[in-house]
């Protein structure tokens, strides 16, 4: 097996980029949560983890549960490309897992939104993006 010679500087730069990306993601989720709450939604969960995976934000308004996947990048268009087919399947399975734990189960009104956040923190919501 060949040795991988990577300088400490390269490792440090990668860690720094990763930390910045993580912080940007947390800031994006916080901005989206504030927007939904300003529209009268109650925040039920942040980064909820089920058997199939994680859901960034879960809200309720009236009797409807709204699952929100947050994607952030320099532009809305680029952020939208970060949601792939496999992740969509995991997201739907996680939503079903969460809904299944509620008293009404799958009879609970629900939708999955995609929240896009650009590089300056503007938010665009695509309601019912996965059209369940």
Q: pLDDT (tens digit, 9 = 90+) per residue, 15-49?
A: 777 777 777 778 999 999 999 999 999 999 999 99
Q: Which is nearest to 69 in space by CA: 117, 19, 102? A: 117
How many separate domains does the chain show?
Answer: 1
Q: Which CATH number covers residue 19?
A: 3.40.1350.10
Range of the domain at 94: 8-126
Within a domain: 3:
no
Give dist(CA 110, CA 103) in Å, integer: 14
Within a domain: 1:
no
Q: pLDDT (tens digit, 9 = 90+) per residue, 74-122?
A: 999 999 999 999 999 999 999 999 999 999 999 999 999 999 999 899 9
Within a domain: 2:
no
Within a domain: 31:
yes
Burial class (CB in 10 A: 0-12, 13-18, 19+), 4: exposed
């Amino acid at each position: 097996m060949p040795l991988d010679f990577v300088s400490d500087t390269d490792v440090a730069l990668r860690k720094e980029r990763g930390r910045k990306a993580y912080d940007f993601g947390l800031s994006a989720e916080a901005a989206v949560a504030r927007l939904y709450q300003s529209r009268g939604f109650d925040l039920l969960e942040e980064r909820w983890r089920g058997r199939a995976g994680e859901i960034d934000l879960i809200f309720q308004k009236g009797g409807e549960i709204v699952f929100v996947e947050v994607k952030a990048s320099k532009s809305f268009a680029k952020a939208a490309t970060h949601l792939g087919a496999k992740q969509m399947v995991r997201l739907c399975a996680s939503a079903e897992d969460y809904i299944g734990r509620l008293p009404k189960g799958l009879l609970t009104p629900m939708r999955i939104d995609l929240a896009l956040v650009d590089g300056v923190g503007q938010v665009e919501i695509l309601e019912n993006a996965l059209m369940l």
